[in-house]
Chains A and B, each alone.
Chain A
Amino acid sequence: MVELKYEGDISQHSGQRVKPPELNVLYGLIGIAVIFEVLGWIFQGQSFLFNAQRLSIMILQVSVVGIIAIGVTQVIITGGIDLSSGSVVGATAMFAMSFAQVSSYTRAVYPALTDLPLLIPLIVGLSCGVLAGLVNGALIAYAKIPPFIATLGMMVTARGIAKWYTKGKPVSFPTDSFAGLGEGMTPVLWFIILAVLFQLALRYTVYGKHTYAIGSNAEAARISGINVERHLLLVYVIAGALAAFAGMVVASRGLTAQAGMGTMYELDAIAMAVIGGTSLSGGRGSIIGTALGMLIFGVIISGFTFLRIDAYYQEMIKGMIIVAAVVYDVYRQKTRVVVK
């Protein structure tokens, strides 16, 4: 019989603390930025990074998709996926804008409902996102339809609704208050507020703990008494609401809503999350990681433009980086299993 003794050092938190995975993403970001800096001096004769205007445009470009990625990250942490966010952006933009038009515009969608306070289009828009999230979540959690299929259906449906709503016509001329939603650098501000909020929620609340638990081992979560279905519903609703908010910001920025808005945003958002270290197999990831993933995304797009490289190459490289991030994730999983 093995002698059992309390070895005394479990209380001292000795042993190796695993370093946060976000560090690798940060190194990646720095590495890519430095490469563009060097290439900038070689080919353009100027600095890439030390240009306030370029940096602010870069962040502005990605922060709207970043808002979506905050929700998508949480969905992926539960082991799911959300392909519908881009279409939710389009549908929300249309619906919200139709309740945000000015009275001086004679061909408003609802001539009787013009010059409304910001709250009305905001509620309409968020309702669109919540509704999409509820349908996604219910299909996935209760009807047990794979997240890929359920949200793919929503992706096509929501885009259809966006086009049907005005028979494809754009909706324009918003009130000043609605136009203020995405004015100037406000999208960046929204992103920062929402990212901090949800990073804290994931890290320090029961909501976050259960989100990771479900993605890590849904059966264990269920046995432990977590209401897995209700929680998944909540996560998809949050993702839908965030996509809807992003939709309103996009429409507000452009002062117009078009049914095609947000096309492919879902893939960019997923890419940001995955590049930021969120595991597609669930249980791992963070908003900090996604924010870094978003910056990597921004640096690459803006770096390519800076070096005057064709947009075609940008997309090819973007695609390869996404695949590389997933390959890295799979590889990391494998090595860990071997350790076990």
Chain B
Amino acid sequence: MRTEGLSKHYGGVEAMNDANFFMRRGEHVAIVGDNGAGKSTIVRQLTGVEQPTKGRIFFDGHEVRFGGPMDAREAGIETVFQNLALADELDVPSNIFLGRELTRFNLGPFSILDEKKMTEIALEGLKTTGVKIPHLKNTIRNMSGGQRQCVAISRAAAFASKLIIMDEPTAALGVAETAQVEEIIKKLKAQGIPLILISHNLRQVFDLVDRIFVFRRGRIVCSLDAKNTDGSELVELITGIKHAEDVPGAMPN
């Protein structure tokens, strides 16, 4: 995955400017930055939710242009959004298969759902996350934040063939639930599935990823190896006290 000069303007507001982002196969990278630094903006461009104002995206060796979220998904990119993007009134399998339901007879919009198969696959997906859900056929409305997050993550993990993007996956979770999500991320690493993690939690970032991109005011400050930096340096880069050229080993945008 690579972007060249990716920019997004909302009216006169430049949410993201000239971002040259890149990652290698199998790599886990993090995107960090203050609120409004452009973290979520780049995610929306990479996942096809929005179309960039300028710039190009390359994925898996080709230039891609995602007209909508479905295009990105078809290319093998799955996203766990900050607001989870789950339908509260639907059960677990329905949420996992939302928008790409398995059907038995194709009758256009009135195609018959293959609930049995969807439930089986959902169950498999949840087993890999190790999360306990009392009854798959209950709506997710009454589930805990951790359970819901695991549903969202298993959805991503079940379909992602090439890349998973997680936007603040643990922002709303408790300690044990956060640990659970981090464990899943480590499993994905072991399986060699590339991941982009957007997080405010620097401890988590150091724990989980290989490389870190620092965003500040809609621009990429630099990217650096997670092993060659520490928390305080990262904070200084995020807040703008230090610049890319002050940090040895940092690769400016």
Residues of A within 8 A of B (CB): 1-2, 4-7, 9-11, 13-18, 201, 204-207, 209-210, 212-213, 215-217, 219-226, 231, 234, 283-284, 336, 339-340
**Across the two chains, which residue of chain A brings its CB closest to B128?**
A6
Tell whether, in the assembled complex, residue B73 and residue A17 are in contact, meaning their CB atoms are under 8 Å apart. no
Among A2, A209, A234, point to the contact of B90 (Cβ < 8 A).
A209
**CA A13 – CA B101 in complex, angstroms?**
21
Closest Cβ neighbor of A15 among chain B residues: B134
Contact with A along B93-112 (1 / 0, CB 8 A): 01000111101000101111
B136 touches A234 (CB 8 A): no
B87 in contact (CB, < 8 A): yes
Other-chain residue from A16, A205, A223, A340 in contact with B85 (beta carbon distance below 8 A): A223
Docked Cα-Cα span, A219 to B84, in Å, equals 10
Task: Check A206 against B111 for contact (C-beta < 8 Å).
Answer: yes
Q: Tell me whether B98 and A207 are in contact (CB under 8 A).
A: no
Query: Are A206's CB and B69's CB within 8 A?
Result: no
Partner of A15, one of B87, B100, B127, B135: B135
Give the A-binding residues of B (Cβ under 8 A).
49, 68-70, 73, 79, 81, 83-90, 94, 98-101, 103, 107, 109-113, 115, 123, 126-127, 130-139, 141-144, 176, 179-180, 183
Q: A213-B98, A340-B141 are in contact. List 13 more A-B contacts (CB 8 A).
A: A2-B179, A7-B130, A10-B126, A10-B131, A14-B135, A18-B142, A209-B94, A216-B87, A216-B89, A219-B83, A220-B98, A223-B69, A224-B69
CA A225 – CA B79 in complex, angstroms?
12
Supposing A4-B183, A224-B98 touch, asked if A13 and B113 sit within 8 A by C-beta, the answer is: no
B107→A217 contact, CB < 8 A = no
A219 touches which of B85, B138, B179, B180 (Cβ 8 Å): B85
A208 (CB) vs chain B CBs: closest residue: B113
- Chain B residues with Cβ below 8 Å from A206 are 101, 103, 109-111, 113
Distance A110 CA – B99 CA, assembled complex (angstroms): 48
Q: Is the CB of A221 within 8 A of B99?
A: yes
Distance between Cα atoms of A339 and B113 in the complex (Å): 31
* Contact present for A204 and B112 (CB under 8 Å): yes
By beta carbon, the residue of chain A nearest B111 is: A206
A216 near B103 (CB under 8 angstroms)? Answer: no
How many A-B pairs fall under 8 Å by CB? 126
A-B contact pairs, 27 of them (CB 8 A): A7-B132, A10-B126, A10-B132, A10-B133, A14-B134, A15-B135, A16-B138, A205-B109, A205-B112, A205-B113, A206-B111, A207-B109, A209-B101, A212-B94, A216-B89, A217-B86, A217-B87, A217-B88, A219-B83, A220-B83, A221-B98, A223-B79, A224-B69, A224-B99, A225-B99, A283-B88, A284-B89
Task: Tell me what chain B mostly uses at the interface: helix, strand, loop, or mixed.
Answer: loop
Q: How far is the CA of A15 from the CA of B133 in the complex (A)?
A: 9
Residues of A within 8 A of B87 (CB): 212-213, 216-217, 220-221, 283
Chain A residues whose C-beta falls within 8 Å of the C-beta of B126 in the assembled complex: 10
Chain A residues lying within 8 Å of B49, measured Cβ to Cβ, are 223
B158–chain A nearest beta-carbon distance, Å: 13
* CB–CB B141/A336 < 8 A: yes
Known: A11-B123, A15-B134, A225-B100. Is A205-B88 also a contact (CB below 8 A)?
Answer: no
Contact B123 A10 (CB under 8 A): yes
Q: Find the residue from A7, A9, A207, A217 having the highest chain B CB count within 10 A.
A: A217
Task: Report the bound CA distance from A226 to B103 in whole Å.
Answer: 15
